[in-house]
Structure 1
Amino acid sequence: MQDRHGSDRQGQSHKPPQNGRRAQDLARRLIGMDGRSYPSYKQLHGTHELGDLAVAIDHVQSDPYAPPSRVCVLVDAEDAALPQDLLETADDRIAVGDFLTRRFAAQLRAAGADRDIRIDEPGQQVLARSSVLLAPDRVEVRFEVALPAAGRRIKGRAAARILTELLPEVARAALFHGEFDAPTRDALRAHVVLLRDQEHLRASLRERGLIAFVGEGAILPRRSGDSDLPLETRLGAVPFAVPESLRAEFALPSGRTVTGMGIPEGVTVIVGGGYHGKSTLLRAVERGVYPHIAGDGREWVLTRPDAVSIRAEDGRAVTGVDISPFITNLPTGTDTRAFSTTNASGSTSQAANLVEAVEAGASALLIDEDTSATNFMIRDERMRRLIPANREPITPFVDRIRPLYEERGVSTVLVAGGSGAFFDVADHVIALDEYVPRDVTAQARALAADDAGAAAAGGPVFAAAVSRVPARGGLGRGEEQGPDAAGRGAQHRGGRGPAGRGAGGSGRGKGPKPARARGLGQIQYGTETIELGAVVQLVDPSQTEAIARALDVLSRELDGETSLAEALDALERRFDAEGLDWLSPHRGHPGRLARPRRHELLAAVGRYRRLKLAD
């Protein structure tokens, strides 16, 4: 564990600096700034002792309209007195950090301070994020403060109230276990126990031969298309019922037992009439790669962490992807074994998305007919007779879905509302009727036997594992691309310590600007915008910001010999060992970061239009 200045602090207790200023001193200083020009706030940079906690102001905004100042609260671990039995594993610390972040945000609202002080408040998922650091010696909470102004003049008295009254009050209520009432202590413990149980069940899916688990009684519908909150039962939400043939039961570490529907490995097709819950079930399974908070309705919808949603994505960039298992012999003569385009069609984009998912290690694909390219998915018997196979460059997914599982072990969960073509190749068929699932596998097989479709195309799906190797400087940024720009970027950050607390964050010189997220679905990388709107398993803008930072890392470390898979492996190992702080280009407060999956990291790289591969 690194301290705020990069030195090794493992096992040491946090002590405020000897020159730390007490609350009264800080308040007097702020009041004395009243009416001065806004840049005078820069004098606050540093760490200030406020009794039983310290406030570190790591970055002061340049003017009232700039992004707010980055501030941390540091509390001695002994003073926070969090139960040690709730901090035993990495998952425990994620759960406690998530709880403290939510509590800090709630206390800000209760104190009426949430307009001036904002923390990266989580949504319905529990993610590893940078908002709270639980070190052996301290608890560190990171947030932003909009330092008050009248025009471009400092409002010193208002700033003093925020930093020396409201902030310590909120921090003590949110972080000191001794300040928690009995229900809050119970809620903290329940939050950790739930995550332990969820991750135990998720880790058990593979050994049970399951892709996903949907708990009995789960509430899957959301309130609206732009809300991730559960629909209330009084407004029509139907608790999930379990077909007996697919019932699964799990005994959990807490001692409780949960029952639900297990979705087996292989090919599972979900059918039903429009608006009967097919896509709602698939969306819940997509989000099941993350744990959810109690009361979400999907806390017992758990999916293997390497399941990937696949869809068509007209216009995406593709670089060097082998889509030949699905598309070959194009009239243009394009080599689809290393297919590249800046404007993919529906079928080529979906083929590329699928191959990239396999490249990133997906063991299951999640596909909805509604968001797929029809000519990629199926080709009915009439069309096969009208257009000879040697004149059709697309081998539809229905012909590849079985070999994909049998040769590569990649399962598929598919929503199909308009075609029964996949009945011939399905291991299981689940029908949704007013959100109630039934196992209709026998009926679907009987229909398939009565009207047998065309035989699946032969030949291997993938002759070998996919392994694209970017060229050195292959993530160059527009006009600054190439080894020189990459070298400048590496130079300015080379001095950082392993946890991002070193001195390497100062002075960028003429190096490229860092990548940055624009909300959930875009990354600005040099002169290019990477579009991630179709990457639907991204759930938090802080994940997108972490991906942007990771692109900066990859731009320095891709050497023309390391494959994308190897580079992603290295990133994953570093996330596991060091958390997220090391992604920051500056010391102290690392910004709003949440851990992405490797699949979304690869999705961002693959959609970068200037990606260059080694020969």
Structure 2
Amino acid sequence: MKSQEVLKNMLARIDHRGYPAYKELQGMYDFGAYMLSIDHVQGDPFAAPSKVHIEVSGQKAGFPKEYYDTEDKRTAVQDFVLRLFAGEVQNYSFQAKGSGKSGLLSVSRCGQEILSRSACQMDNHTGSVTVRLEIGFPAHGRTIDAKALEKILFGYLPECVKKTLYFSAVPAKELQKAVHLAEDTASLRRQLKEKNLAAFVADGAVLPRQSGVSDRPMRDAFPFQSPKSLRVEMHLPHAGVITGMGIPKGVTLIVGGGYHGKSTLLRALEAGVYNHIAGDGREYTVTDDTAVKVRAEDGRSIHDVDISMFIRNLPNGKDTVHFVTQDASGSTSQAAGVTEAVEAQTKLLLIDEDTSATNFMIRDVLMQRVVHGSQEPIIPFIDRVRELYEKEGISTILVAGSCGSYFHKADLIIQMNRYEPVDITEYAKTQAKEFPLAQSENPAYKKSSHKRCPKASKRADDRVKIKTTGLDTICINKENIDVRYIEQLVDSEQLNALGYMLAYAQKHLFDGKKTLLQITDELYEKIHRDGIESICGLSYVPAGLALPRKQEFMAVVNRYRG
């Protein structure tokens, strides 16, 4: 541990030298109120910025123990502090001028969801706070501008720390509101199980988003109002009694005309596996936290997946118990998606007719008459949806705009009318009697006994290069993984984390003996025990990592062609 005076002297000594001299600054420095650690120095001003972290002891930070004694509350406090810190840092970014990334101060930019991030971590025992950021060390050309860096490290950063990382400095009422919201949301999730519900949408919730590129709530949107037949009360420790629509476990159909809010409701339920910040409009919209959105994905890679529950007797004789393809069709990809979701221990499938393969979802009476069942290898989802619930306890919420056959299978039918839900179960069931469903001749559902045990196809490299593109692609050592259709990934930092997690699993866990679920459980146990830094294989902790759910990790492994 070095003093801040030592750092100042080092900066004075290397001023106007060549850029590599910045490497001498690596180490930890005592700033009295906090510790500053320079973890990694960029190679030149045009390279990725330098990595820095700040540590404030629990005694000095002063956050009350009851604010971080559970994971939900601790994550909420971390998120709150990080947003404050990022807002302050933004005021100083590029105030120091120079070549390339000189003067850049970069911190994670949080969205509407509250995620566990490496950028801000609070120790669950001591309450110490660690914030990680990136700084572009200033230079002109490749000549060090140490005075500009001194201004950042001794002027800008101390101001940001002073205003955001101490309990005495943060807006107390707003922080308390965030902690209380975390407790209320945790209570809501417990009550889902107690009341046998798959999801809950509070009255007054704002579900529509501003636009396709903004996840903020739409202004002047219709507030959600639950139908009386589905209205339930939830008793929360801080918000008190709230009411809303409870969607029971089972098979639920969401219908309605175009642009009336069917897909908007489904998207809110997809996002309901995460907690949301106050003011998002979906704070009290919660979904079974194992829920998986399933869709068709033409062209995806499938490796050793048992899709025989849906597809059998392919004309080319291809094995559907150990199905492998590098270019899946819509129906085979969706069949694999459901099977993989079951493997990932989901208890709720979310499906939108618009993004599904029609032949996977339904075969109408006329088609069954013309094309005999013996000539059709696909067992449509409609013939399995009830079996999945009755034999596996897996519920389904399905959005349908054109297929009425699912009326026969549904326990609950909700019609969206101008963004307002109406329970039409009794009426729809009565009408469905006039259109009897053809009797299925398919074999009964049988749980797959197939166990997949991933094995690395080649020796994992010691040096791993990970690159991500938005929410679309993870690239590991030039091997791309298309994750566009894993629709419950909401933050690019989740992709960063998934890259490191997959690289670690490939090197240490893919032994051909453990199942994918066992590998996933072992990986998450290590992360929760030792921190996400334990699987990165770096000398420092990357700032831009957000922990995804187990279901998303398994989905990425399933799409990895390597």
State TM-score, norm by structure 2.
0.95
Matched, 1:56 2:37: yes
**1:422 equivalent in structure 2:** 406
Question: What SS class does the counterpart of residue 217 from structure 2 fall into?
Answer: coil
Q: Which amino acid aligns with 1:159?
A: L
Using the alignment, how far apart are the partners of 2:494 and 2:268 within structure 1? 19
Deviation readout 1:458-485 (Å, 9 max, x if unpaired): 5333334552112xxx233xxxx2xxx2
Matched, 1:329 2:313: yes
Q: Which amino acid aligns with 2:141?
A: G
Matched, 1:78 2:59: yes
Question: What SS class does the counterpart of residue 72 from structure 1 fall into?
Answer: strand
Deviation readout 1:331-361 (Å, 9 max, x if unpaired): 1000111110000000000000110000000
Structure 1 contact 323–351 (Cα < 8 Å) conserved: yes
Matched, 1:568 2:520: yes
Using the alignment, how far apart are the partners of 2:433 and 2:410 within structure 1? 12
**2:98 equivalent in structure 1:** none
Report the CA distance shift for 1:280/1:560 in structure 2 as closer, same or farther (over 3 A).
same
Using the alignment, how far apart are the partners of 1:462 and 1:528 within structure 2? 36
Q: Tell me which of 69, 84, 94 is aligned to 1:88.
A: 69
**2:109 equivalent in structure 1:** 121
**Where do 1:225-244 residues align within 5 Å?**
225-233=212-220, 237-244=221-228
Using the alignment, how far apart are the partners of 2:483 and 2:88 within structure 1? 33
Q: Which amino acid aligns with 1:436?
A: E
Q: Which amino acid aligns with 1:418?
A: S
Q: Tell me which of 539, 551, 554 is aligned to 1:587.
A: 539
Using the alignment, how far apart are the partners of 2:233 and 2:439 within structure 1? 37
1:112: how far off?
Answer: 5.4
Question: What SS class does the counterpart of residue 559 from structure 1 fall into?
Answer: coil
1:150: how far off?
Answer: 1.5
**Residue-pair matches, total:** 552
Deviates most, 293-302 or 581-590: 581-590
1:106: how far off?
Answer: 1.2
Report the CA distance shift for 1:361/1:560 in structure 2 as closer, same or farther (over 3 A).
same
Report the CA distance shift for 1:571/1:244 in structure 2 as closer, same or farther (over 3 A).
same
1:525: how far off?
Answer: 2.3
Q: Which amino acid aligns with 1:363?
A: K
Q: Which amino acid aligns with 1:155?
A: D
Q: Tell me which of 464, 486, 489 is aligned to 1:513.
A: 464
Question: What SS class does the counterpart of residue 209 from structure 2 fall into?
Answer: coil
In structure 1, runs of 5+ residues without a counterpart are: 1-16, 490-510, 611-615
Structure 1 contact 71–589 (Cα < 8 Å) conserved: no
Using the alignment, how far apart are the partners of 2:449 and 2:112 within structure 1? 35
Q: Tell me which of 49, 53, 71 is aligned to 1:68.
A: 49
Question: What SS class does the counterpart of residue 570 from structure 1 fall into?
Answer: helix
**2:195 equivalent in structure 1:** 208
Structure 1 contact 243–437 (Cα < 8 Å) conserved: yes
Using the alignment, how far apart are the partners of 1:609 and 1:304 within structure 2? 30
Matched, 1:304 2:294: no
Using the alignment, how far apart are the partners of 2:193 and 2:449 within structure 1? 21
Deviates most, 548-557 or 579-588: 579-588
**2:158 equivalent in structure 1:** 168
**1:523 equivalent in structure 2:** 474
Q: Tell me which of 84, 96, 118 is aligned to 1:130.
A: 118
Using the alignment, how far apart are the partners of 1:111 and 1:60 within structure 2? 20
Using the alignment, how far apart are the partners of 2:94 and 2:206 within structure 1? 33
Deviation readout 1:491-549 (Å, 9 max, x if unpaired): xxxxxxxxxxxxxxxxxxxx352444333221112342111000000011111111111
Using the alignment, how far apart are the partners of 1:574 and 1:461 within structure 2? 36
Using the alignment, how far apart are the partners of 1:539 and 1:561 within structure 2? 32
Q: CA RMSD in A?
A: 1.7
Matched, 1:185 2:172: yes
1:384: how far off?
Answer: 0.7
Q: Which amino acid aligns with 2:108?
A: D
Using the alignment, how far apart are the partners of 2:173 and 2:156 within structure 1? 26
**1:507 equivalent in structure 2:** none
Using the alignment, how far apart are the partners of 1:512 and 1:173 within structure 2? 39
1:599: how far off?
Answer: 1.0
Q: Tell me which of 3, 10, 21 is aligned to 2:3.
A: 21
Using the alignment, how far apart are the partners of 2:397 and 2:441 within structure 1? 20
Using the alignment, how far apart are the partners of 1:243 and 1:130 within structure 2? 41
Structure 1 contact 515–551 (Cα < 8 Å) conserved: no
Structure 2 contact 321–450 (Cα < 8 Å) conserved: no
Question: What SS class does the counterpart of residue 48 from structure 1 fall into?
Answer: strand
Using the alignment, how far apart are the partners of 1:599 and 1:192 within structure 2? 26
Using the alignment, how far apart are the partners of 1:465 and 1:536 within structure 2? 28
1:388: how far off?
Answer: 0.3
Using the alignment, how far apart are the partners of 2:331 and 2:448 within structure 1? 22
Using the alignment, how far apart are the partners of 1:191 and 1:111 within structure 2? 26
Structure 2 contact 93–106 (Cα < 8 Å) conserved: no
Q: Which amino acid aligns with 1:289?
A: V
1:271: how far off?
Answer: 0.5
Q: Which amino acid aligns with 1:218?
A: A
Using the alignment, how far apart are the partners of 2:72 and 2:450 within structure 1? 31
Report the CA distance shift for 1:565/1:466 in structure 2 as closer, same or farther (over 3 A).
farther
Matched, 1:39 2:20: yes
Structure 2 contact 527–535 (Cα < 8 Å) conserved: no
**1:9 equivalent in structure 2:** none
Using the alignment, how far apart are the partners of 1:153 and 1:89 within structure 2? 48
Using the alignment, how far apart are the partners of 1:431 and 1:518 within structure 2? 37
1:113: how far off?
Answer: 6.2
Structure 2 contact 456–511 (Cα < 8 Å) conserved: no
Using the alignment, how far apart are the partners of 2:463 and 2:540 within structure 1? 22
Matched, 1:350 2:334: yes
Deviates most, 62-71 or 27-36: 27-36
Deviation readout 1:547-592 (Å, 9 max, x if unpaired): 1111122112222211111111212322333342222212333332
Q: Tell me which of 500, 504, 508 is aligned to 1:553.
A: 504
1:186: how far off?
Answer: 0.9
Q: Tell me which of 264, 276, 292 is aligned to 1:280.
A: 264
1:31: how far off?
Answer: 4.2
Report the CA distance shift for 1:257/1:110 in structure 2 as closer, same or farther (over 3 A).
farther
Structure 1 contact 26–164 (Cα < 8 Å) conserved: no
Using the alignment, how far apart are the partners of 1:360 and 1:466 within structure 2? 14
Q: Which amino acid aligns with 2:21?
A: S
1:50: how far off?
Answer: 1.9
Q: Which amino acid aligns with 1:62?
A: G
Report the CA distance shift for 1:112/1:67 in structure 2 as closer, same or farther (over 3 A).
closer
Deviates most, 245-254 or 212-221: 245-254
Report the CA distance shift for 1:513/1:533 in structure 2 as closer, same or farther (over 3 A).
same
Matched, 1:449 2:433: yes
Question: What SS class does the counterpart of residue 206 from structure 1 fall into?
Answer: helix
Q: Which amino acid aligns with 2:208?
A: P
Deviation readout 1:242-266 (Å, 9 max, x if unpaired): 0001111111122612211011111
1:457: how far off?
Answer: 4.7
Deviation readout 1:164-196 (Å, 9 max, x if unpaired): 11001101111011223xxx1111111011011
Using the alignment, how far apart are the partners of 1:221 and 1:255 within structure 2? 23
Percent sequence identity over matched residues? 44
Structure 1 contact 360–565 (Cα < 8 Å) conserved: yes
Using the alignment, how far apart are the partners of 1:134 and 1:463 within structure 2? 43
Report the CA distance shift for 1:306/1:465 in structure 2 as closer, same or farther (over 3 A).
farther
Question: What SS class does the counterpart of residue 530 from structure 1 fall into?
Answer: strand
In structure 2, runs of 5+ residues without a counterpart are: 96-102
